[in-house]
């Protein structure tokens, strides 16, 4: 991938996000957008960044509350030594727009969120893609965002922020990912809030997503990440099969949601 075709980092920020297991860091970019960079390769596996990119695209197809992730380039001369010590290196990586807020705490934050209508789509996305490591973290309460003019707007939105564990983790290969999973256990706090009548519109929307649209989300990826055509095709086949069986997948792992 030509580095000039994607946003380029121009400045690093000190500090790191709380609970950032993959050691992401904040950077400014030449398009004026500050972002959180997740490094490839990731300590969570060689496909973690690819998982993030694909899941962000698929999530948009069903209106799930997930950030629009992008591919970025970080040159060596803007990476400080403290970041390199934790695995940062020059190259093509994955990044999301920097947010301000805190990790989502169900007991404190459910009453605050303004986008509760998007929770069913969040649950369906997690079950559709068998995203793991979601029970107690990897969800966020966004407290401010910027409008189209760059002005800060106060908000309280629930967001999914880490899809690196799609298909069970960042180490999948074509031979072990093609068959769809039979069940998926959602985070307990979602099951408590979401019953069949609330999930139905999100399920019905997923059923309308075409094979071609699903496949397209897997095809465009940086050569540097080493994702083969066979792996992209297998991942798409898995997502299509899971789409067609999504209600059974959720029902099997979360029977109380359909009680």
Q: What is the pLDDT of residues 3-14, one digit of tens each?
A: 889 999 999 998
The pLDDT value recorded for residue 257 is 81
Comparing 145 with 100, which gets the higher pLDDT? 100
Torsional sign, CA 131, 19, 99, 44: negative
- DSSP classification of residue 212: H
Q: Is the pLDDT of residue 162 over 80?
A: yes
The pLDDT value recorded for residue 45 is 86
Average pLDDT estimate for 223-243 = 97
pLDDT interval class at 217 (50, 70, 90): very high
The pLDDT value recorded for residue 4 is 82
pLDDT interval class at 149 (50, 70, 90): low
| Residue 208 tokens, joined | 């309308």
| Average pLDDT along the chain | 91
The pLDDT value recorded for residue 203 is 97
The residues that bridge with 74 in the sheet, in sequence order, are 91
Residues 6+ apart with CB under 8 A from 97: 33, 34, 35, 36, 67, 68
pLDDT interval class at 150 (50, 70, 90): low
> Distance between CA atoms of 61 and 225, rounded to whole angstroms?
24
pLDDT interval class at 147 (50, 70, 90): low
Q: Is the pLDDT of residue 52 over 70?
A: yes
Q: What are phi and psi of 202, to 5 degrees?
A: -70, -40
| Domains held by the chain: number | 1
Q: Where are the alpha helices (DSSP H) in the chain?
A: 48-61, 81-84, 106-109, 119-128, 174-177, 188-193, 196-208, 211-219, 229-244, 246-253
Q: Is the pLDDT of residue 148 over 60?
A: no
List the domain range (segments joined by +) for residue 84.
3-258
pTM of the model as a whole: 0.92
């Amino acid at each position: 991938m030509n580095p000039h075709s994607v946003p380029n980092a121009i400045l690093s920020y000190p500090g790191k996000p709380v609970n950032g297991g993959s050691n992401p860091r904040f950077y400014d970019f030449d398009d004026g957008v500050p972002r959180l960079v997740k490094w490839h390769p990731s300590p969570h596996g060689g496909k973690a960044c690819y998982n993030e990119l694909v899941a962000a695209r698929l999530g948009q197809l069903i209106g799930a509350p997930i950030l629009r992730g992008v591919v970025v380039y970080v040159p060596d001369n803007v990476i400080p030594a403290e970041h390199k010590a934790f695995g940062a290196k020059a190259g093509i990586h994955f990044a999301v727009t920097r947010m301000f807020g805190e990790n989502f705490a169900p007991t404190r934050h459910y009453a605050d969120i303004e986008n509760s209508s998007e929770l069913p789509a969040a649950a369906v996305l997690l079950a559709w893609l068998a995203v793991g490591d979601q029970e107690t973290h990897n969800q966020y309460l966004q407290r401010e965002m910027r409008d189209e003019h760059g002005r800060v707007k106060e908000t309280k939105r629930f967001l999914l922020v880490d899809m690196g564990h799609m298909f069970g983790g960042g180490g999948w290969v074509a031979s072990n990912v093609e068959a769809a999973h039979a069940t998926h256990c959602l985070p307990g706090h979602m099951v408590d809030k979401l019953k069949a009548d609330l999930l139905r519109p999100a399920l019905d929307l997923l059923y309308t997503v075409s094979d071609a649209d699903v496949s397209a989300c897997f095809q465009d990826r940086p050569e540097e990440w080493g994702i083969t055509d066979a792996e992209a095709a297998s991942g798409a086949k898995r997502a299509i099969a899971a789409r067609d069986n999504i209600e059974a997948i959720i029902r099997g792992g979360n029977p109380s949601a359909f009680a």
